[in-house]
Structure formats: C-alpha cells, structure tokens
Amino acid sequence: MSGAQAKAAVICGCIGVVAEMSEEALMKRHAQGWLQEYTDNLDVLIKRIRETRAKKEATSIGYLGNVVDVWERLVAEYEATGELLVELGSDQTSCHNPFGGGYCPVQLSFQEAEEMLAKDPYRLKTLVQESLRRQIAAINKLADAGLFFWDYGNAFLLEARRAGADVSKPGTEDPLTFRYPSYVQDIMGDIFSLGFGPFRWVCTSGDPADLQTSDDIAYNVLATICSEDLPKNVQQQYADNMRWIKEAGKHKMVVGSQARILYSDQRGRVKIAQAFNDAVRVGKIKAPVVLSRDHHDVSGTDSPFRETSNVYDGSAFTADMAVQNFVGDAFRGATWVALHNGGGVGW
C-alpha cells in the first residue's frame, strides 16, 4: 500500500480499504498518520465498513492480509445479504513483476511467499496465477452487481489474462483489450483533454508557513477563475481542485520538501505562478518557489497499459509523448527537466 491511497479516500469523503501483506509496511503507514485504522480480521473489517457507511463517515482502513480474501468476502456478503459494500475498486499490486515478489498469492503468508520465491519460484508462479484467477472471479461477480472497477495500468489484467482469468473484453479477439479499461483511458482521459493535469511547486525556503501561504494563494486564484462563466465540466475541475488545495495542509501530506501538487490547466498555472512571483517579491513568501510538473501530467507519461492503453496502431509501446515533452521542455528553456522510467507500473 502507499500512503496516498488512504489519505485520498478520506479527503474525497470515502471509506478507503487497502490490503497490505507486509505488517511492517502497514504499521509504518499507520504510525506516520497516512492510515487511520487497521485490522487483520475480516469480520471486523466488514463491520467497520457497515458502521462508517451508516454514519456517512470517511475513513481509511488497512487490512493486514491478502486482497483476494477481501474481494471474496465482499462477494460472500453480497450473495448472503444482497448488500454491495464496495462501489469503486482497483488493484495496485506490482504485477509488472508478479513472480519476483510483486504479487503475493492468497494461499501463502508474506513470509511464506518470500521463502518460496527463494526456494521454489516455479511453484510460486503457479500459486500466483491461481490467485489471480480467484481475484478476477470475485471482481467480475461484484462488477456484475454494480462495482465500478478500473485498471491501474500495472499489468494486473495482462497477467490475469496470461493466467487464464476471464478478463477479455466481450466481442473482441485482441488479447490486450480488457473488459476493464485503464483509469487513464476511462477516467483521466477526459480530464487531460480539458488541459488539466498535475503540476508541482516546491518552496525552497523549506518553511511550512510558506507552503501554507502558497496553498492559500492557489486557492484564491482558482476561486476567482471558478466564479466566472465557465463550461460546467471545466468549472467542476476547478471546484474539485479547490477542495484538494484547501484540505491538503490539514492532512499533513508533506514528506521531505515543502511541496504541493495540484491539477490545473494552463490558465490556472500561469495565474498561480504570477501570484507566487508577486508574493515572493513583496516578502509574503520568504524564498523562490520552484515550479515543476508531476510525471503524470498531460502527455507526460507513456505506459502501454495505462496512458496509451487504447492506442491500437502499434505505437503504444514507443513512449513518444514523454520523450518529446522532455526534449521540448528543455529546448523551450525549462531549467528543471528529467526523464524518468517506471511511473509506478514498471515501464
């Protein structure tokens, strides 16, 4: 699990359930404040989901155990009561390396999986593929009942298909077209098409007060733009990101540098940058603010099962967008430019 998943759920007003096999990793996230509560008991987990749903409370719950057990229990609850306890779902296991420790099969504990990886990797692969088939079977049942599931682009569906799971899109013979689209293709694409993507700024003073001031400045800029007569879908994006920038500080998102990430289009970015310049000039912010972009920014990343998952001409694997952005930004005078590999999905 990452810390971002749990806090994002709470900020959005959701009940977030994240499964984690490593007790050390889960306890670290809880101790650092990224995760609000945890349990290793499925009965307790289901009870907490029902309690918080009834009270309309937002929380993040870490489950110390395998996510396949969670999916199958949610199916059992639905079949027994008719109550669908999950509306949104995804998977972020490291399925670009499923047989090298990236996916822990449900049949084994975390320690057992590590030991089998060292002693009998072929047997581990067999168990991983069996576990993937079970996971997809549960997800499919919940999706038929109303769950909205999306793929993160981490090769989860690719490896599930290779394992023989039912993930192919009905009516197509393309082995790389799945019944569940990537979230970029299905959700983020429309947002990117409006020009909204994640950029980042860093307060070089290292002072948390400067970051809070920058948050306030960004919020006011967005509020001014949002008050204008904008297309509804554009206005919604500004409103969503106003909520984010207003909530981010109180949720203690900073790790290391006093930095913030925010989705905006070109207009918002330019106005925020100008407002930061003004604040630095008059001493409202103590030191320069460095503006950068997140790797997930518009056309900033190419991953064949994420950003370019619906590109079918053979170029989905070429990473042309990311490389052209890298070179183009440098030619245009950007002073903080990097070309990365991985992007959280292994490509």
> What pLDDT sits at residue 176?
75
> What pLDDT sits at residue 278?
98
Q: What is the dihedral of CA 90, 242, 56, 141, to 10 degrees?
A: -20
Cβ 23 vs Cβ 110: under 8 Å: yes
Domain assignment of residue 241, yes or no? yes
Residues 25, 102: one domain? Answer: yes
Residues 95, 181: one domain? Answer: yes
Cβ 211 vs Cβ 262: under 8 Å: no
Residues 111, 150: one domain? Answer: yes
> What pLDDT sits at residue 316?
80
Residues 302, 250: one domain? Answer: no
Residues 145, 57: one domain? Answer: yes
CATH number of the domain bearing residue 63? 3.40.50.10730
Q: How many domains does the chain have?
A: 3
Looking at 145, 164, 189, the residue that finishes a domain is: 189
Domain assignment of residue 74, yes or no? yes
> What pLDDT sits at residue 66?
98
Residues 72, 155: one domain? Answer: yes
Q: Is 182 helix (H, G, I), strand (E, B) or coil?
A: strand
CA distance 158 to 165: 10
Domain assignment of residue 240, yes or no? yes
> What pLDDT sits at residue 339?
82
Residues 157, 36: one domain? Answer: yes
pLDDT per residue rounded down to tens, the chain (347 residues): 677 889 999 998 999 999 999 999 999 999 999 999 999 999 999 999 999 999 999 999 999 999 999 999 999 999 999 999 999 999 999 998 999 999 999 999 999 999 999 999 999 999 999 999 999 999 999 999 999 999 888 889 999 999 999 999 888 877 778 899 888 878 888 898 899 999 999 999 999 999 999 999 999 999 999 999 999 999 999 999 999 999 899 888 888 899 999 999 999 999 999 999 999 999 999 999 999 887 777 777 777 777 777 777 888 888 888 888 889 989 998 888 888 776 666 65
Domain assignment of residue 173, yes or no? yes
Domain assignment of residue 194, yes or no? no
> What pLDDT sits at residue 64?
98
Looking at 162, 189, 216, the residue that finishes a domain is: 189
Domain assignment of residue 44, yes or no? yes
Residues 226, 307: one domain? Answer: no
User: pTM of the predicted model, to two decimals?
Assistant: 0.88
Residues 124, 76: one domain? Answer: yes
> What pLDDT sits at residue 1?
65
Residues 121, 215: one domain? Answer: no
> What pLDDT sits at residue 344?
63
> And the tokens for 105?
């099969």
Residues 54, 203: one domain? Answer: no
Looking at 141, 167, 189, the residue that finishes a domain is: 189
- For 178, which DSSP code? B
Residues 304, 275: one domain? Answer: no
Domain range for residue 331?
Answer: 298-347
